[in-house]
Amino acid sequence: MAPPLLLLQDIRLTFGGTPLLEGAELSVSEGERLCLVGRNGSGKSTLLKIAAGFVQADSGTRFVQPGSTVRYLPQEPDLSGFGSTLAYVEAGLAPGDDTYRAAYLLEQLGLTGAEEPSNLSGGEARRAALARALAPEPDILLLDEPTNHLDLPAIEWLESEIRAMKSALVLISHDRRFLENLSRATVWLDRGVARRLDRGFAAFEEWRDAVLEQEEVEHHKLARRIAAEADWMRYGVTARRKRNMRRVRELQDMRKAFREHRRAAGSVTMTVTEGETSGKLVVEAKNIGKRFGDRVIVDDFSIRILRHDRIGIVGPNGAGKTTLLNMLTGDLAPDSGSVKLGANLQMAFLDQRRATLAPETTLKDALTGGGTDTVTVGGVVKHVASYMKDFLFSPDQLNTPVSVLSGGERGRLTLARALALPSNFLVLDEPTNDLDLETLDLLEEMIADYPGTVILVSHDRDFLDRTVNAVAVAEGNGRWQVYAGGYTDMLAQRGEGVTARKADSRPAAEKSKAPAPVAPEAERKRKLTFKEKHALDTLPERIAALERDIAKLQALLADPELYTREPAKFEKANTLLARAEQERANCEEEWLRLELLREELEG
């Protein structure tokens, strides 16, 4: 086995008297694809910073193979000191790296390279930092929530870009589909310890549940042993004559182990406060339109939303998803057409920017509205401290101001507020932002059981597949189309994913001028892009590797006794063979397409 490029051993770190990491380990070999998962606050980002060399552990060993390059994507990048986003990305390149790749990555991420860092939004700064991390194609790529602030086209592009790279990868993300598509091994950070599963994220949750179940069995056995030993100490004949000091010490050790046993972190408990039943018709929009200046946001769109419907709204950043949502909920009047809201609607709204949370407001006042210590949820009056526990807040946070909360805590608080309101119409604008995977599970279950109607905006493909029964998609130029089913169903019907909006790289003064005349075809000769050239060069190698894998699997399955001797191994080999053959066919088709394109462009 090849030596690891990056190795963390027995990493220990304590913050404010509370151990965060207690002997955590991480090993990354050449070309490995790891995902790092765990609850919010479990120390995932901290462990990644230690791996990147930006945080010093209290104890433990960090080793990086000499000559290996490591690139790290932080959640809050610092672009100060650079004149433009292009200069920032190019500064991360090593001698000999392709400088064109910096401009290519910025373009794919919706930036021109001319932006001044001081004028960037948080999302734009993260996209520039992502381009800087990817540009050198490092030996080890450490990515902390790379899909934050990315829309669906950018997320799907990023998946394909990372898949084509040879870099080893350690990835933190709350996007299940992203993790499943990119990971080949999983490291679970839980109660300060890192456990490793040599399978991708798709297998993680079943494995995690089995580990926790076995842990509870062992804990229960320990409790029974303690009870038996205590009974012997009190009533055993030998004990009455003379204490067996060895057994006394063992009992003390067992009691200590039982007291110090750290159970898995608690789960969020979500209870929605049900309002009165709405009318059968919830929203009816007829031929609505909206434009800002010369730009058309919505053009001649119609939809009927009935009680119990779950509608998803998807599209690239800037397509007008929130504008459409606001028109459908009556918060924004259309320029043309009409929107009719049904009878007896009680709306609960979770906004994308958490704007309803004033920074100086305490958690207690945010949940109760001030002046009381109770909140009514699902018809039950609860003390606010008890309700806070349902969302993993401790009672000593009652008077904590919103301004000091983490992104994940703000997300849970906004959910707690929205779900406490009596409602029969739930409106969620990017509800998955900053939520960990366990909280997302519960949110999905709550939406499934919700007795009313749900409209949600999201870039999370897995979340959409699990929650909605129809998807409204931005088709471009203000056109919107509704497809039945979730995101995957929409892909099957539409034949393609969501199309990105291109950044306008012209100076502001030029944007107001009339468009330039289109050049003749001969003057606009198309060239292969960097990505197409890279694929054309690397696909033959990938096809050859797949053919070797297919030959090995076919040889294994040729054993006539394999199925009866090891049925599980037979099924796994059969699945891997089908997957490899499909991937080979896709690679061959893509290589042929690119080769024909190259021949055409080269005359």
510: tokens are 């030029």
Strand partners, 195: 188
pLDDT tens profile 48-62: 999 999 999 999 999
| pLDDT given at position 299 | 94
- Fold classification of 281-494 is Rossmann fold (3.40.50)
Bridging pattern class, strands 6-15 and 18-28: antiparallel
Tell me the average pLDDT across 424-449: 81
* pLDDT surpasses 80 at 376: no
Bridging pattern class, strands 425-429 and 347-350: parallel
Question: Residue 40 — pLDDT band, cuts 50, 70, 90?
Answer: confident
Tell me the average pLDDT across 217-240: 60
Residue type, 188: W
Which range is most confident: 207-221, 314-328, 423-437, 572-586? 314-328
CB 529 within 8 A of CB 104: yes
Triad 181, 187, 190: Cα angle to 5°? 130
CB 384 within 8 A of CB 367: yes
- Tokens 């039982």 correspond to 258
581: tokens are 């053959």
Q: How far apart are the first and last CA of the chain?
A: 47
Tell me the average pLDDT across 410-439: 80
Residue type, 13: L
* pLDDT surpasses 90 at 244: no
More confident residue, 534 or 540: 540
| pLDDT given at position 229 | 60
φ, ψ for residue 61 (rounded to 5)?
-120, 135
More confident residue, 23 or 378: 23
More confident residue, 371 or 332: 332
The string of DSSP letters for 136-197 reads: T--SEEEEESTTTT--HHHHHHHHHHHHH---EEEEE-S-HHHHHHH-SEEEEEETTEEEEE
65: tokens are 């193979």
* pLDDT surpasses 80 at 342: yes
Alpha-carbon distance of 532 to 537, in angstroms, equals 9
Its pTM surpasses 0.75: no
Domain ranges within the chain, ordered by starting residue: 6-206, 212-260, 281-494, 530-601
Question: For the domain 6-206, what is the CATH superfamily, name and number?
Answer: P-loop containing nucleotide triphosphate hydrolases (3.40.50.300)
Tell me the average pLDDT across 131-137: 92
Q: H helices of 308-372, where? A: 321-328, 363-368
Tell me the average pLDDT across 325-348: 90
Residue 217 CA neighbour count, 13 Å, CB half: 6
| pLDDT given at position 334 | 93
For domain 530-601, is the CATH number 1.10.287.380?
yes
Residue 391 CA neighbour count, 13 Å, CB half: 27
Handedness of CA 237, 242, 245, 251 (dihedral sign): positive
Tell me the average pLDDT across 362-371: 83
Alpha-carbon distance of 8 to 4, in angstroms, equals 10
Strand partners, 7: 27, 63
Question: Residue 98 — pLDDT band, cuts 50, 70, 90?
Answer: confident
> Do 6-206 and 530-601 have matching folds?
no
Alpha-carbon distance of 447 to 98, in angstroms, equals 47
CB 268 within 8 A of CB 390: yes
| pLDDT given at position 287 | 95
Question: Residue 503 — pLDDT band, cuts 50, 70, 90?
Answer: very low
Which range is most confident: 313-322, 514-523, 561-570? 313-322
CB 423 within 8 A of CB 346: yes
Alpha-carbon distance of 362 to 462, in angstroms, equals 33
